[in-house]
Amino acid sequence: MIRYEYGGDEFVFVELAEDMSLEANFRGMAIARKLREKQLAGIVDICPANASYMVRVDPEIFPPNQLIEELKELEKSVSDLNEIEINSRIVDVPILFEDPWTHEALMRFRDRHQDPNSTDLEYAARINGYGSKEDFIQALTMHPFLVSMVGFVPGLPFCFQMVPREQQIEVPKYVRPRTYTPERAFGFGGAFACIYPVQGAGGYQLFGVAAAPIYDKDQQLPDFKDSMVFPRQGDIFRYRSVTMDEFESIRKQVENGTFQYRTKEITYTPGEVMENPKKFSEDALGRLYHD
């Protein structure tokens, strides 16, 4: 049951589902995009999230009760997932798993962890039923992730793996958050992968570090020409395991200002993903690496 709520005089909050699913996220994404395309007077901001979205409105121009009626009509227009077309990017995101920097950070906070006697990666592999860290890393990198929302701190992508629900990897957050997380740390909490764009606190399990930035406040790299934040809701990230040698090579490209993410534009319907996630993943990765 979709829930519409007022937030004071200027906000309308819409909860599409109580739990995150690819279907709920696709519907929210489609509604937010259609609303943005309408360019209605009085709409100040549209903030889509994992299974909900919020709209800020000027009540003197567009009364919130009228906005809710508009949103309900948009909801009806996205009832068929096969008719929703999404134009997006699929991106190769290099990750160095079990790197020395996040390892040092996570070892400093074992007293805040569910299992102080193992690393985050060992713990996550075990509770998800994998026999080894290597098998677990393969499961993380075999199928791409949908960037379901961007937020928390500037540029942080929440990423939901595009696999059947029974294959979803899930891990709890730390019992108590860390006070330190390295910049570009690759983490996992609940059913979401993320990359921490800047150094700070955090509670997600730490598995590795991204070789390239996802946030560039000075916009020096080519990928950040139009925005200091790289991820966009609807992007598809393929997290790829790299060696230390490749990691260091990418870091040199970042430092000299020449690095660019490997990306391909892609158009798809949510229906394709929901019907056969495995085939969609194979086709998408084929386009990224072989087209």
* Residue intervals in the chain for CATH 2.40.100.10: 87-290
Q: Tokens standing for 275?
A: 């019907």
pLDDT at residue number 44: 97
151 or 99, greater pLDDT? 99
pLDDT at residue number 291: 66
Q: Phi and psi of 40, rounded to 5°?
A: -75, 135
Which residue bears the tokens 């007293």?
Answer: 111
pLDDT at residue number 217: 93
pLDDT at residue number 46: 95
- For 46-85, the pLDDT digits (tens) are 999 999 999 999 999 999 999 999 999 999 998 888 888 8
Determine the Cα–Cα distance for residues 136 and 139; give it in Å rounded to an integer.
5
**pLDDT range class, residue 20, cuts 50, 70, 90:** confident
pLDDT at residue number 52: 95
- What is the arithmetic mean of pLDDT over 6-26? 92
Determine the Cα–Cα distance for residues 64 and 5; give it in Å rounded to an integer.
10
Which string of b and e fits 139-175 if b means at least 16 CB within 10 Å? bbebbbbbbbbbeeeebbbbbbbbbeeeeebebbbbe
The correct answer on CATH 2.40.100.10 for the domain covering 87-290 is: yes
- For 155-206, the pLDDT digits (tens) are 999 999 999 889 999 999 999 999 999 999 999 999 999 999 999 999 999 9
Q: What is the CATH number of domain 3-79?
A: 3.30.1360.40
- What is the arithmetic mean of pLDDT over 127-151? 96
* Residue intervals in the chain for CATH 3.30.1360.40: 3-79
- For 221-280, the pLDDT digits (tens) are 999 999 999 999 999 999 999 999 999 999 999 999 999 999 999 999 998 888 888 899
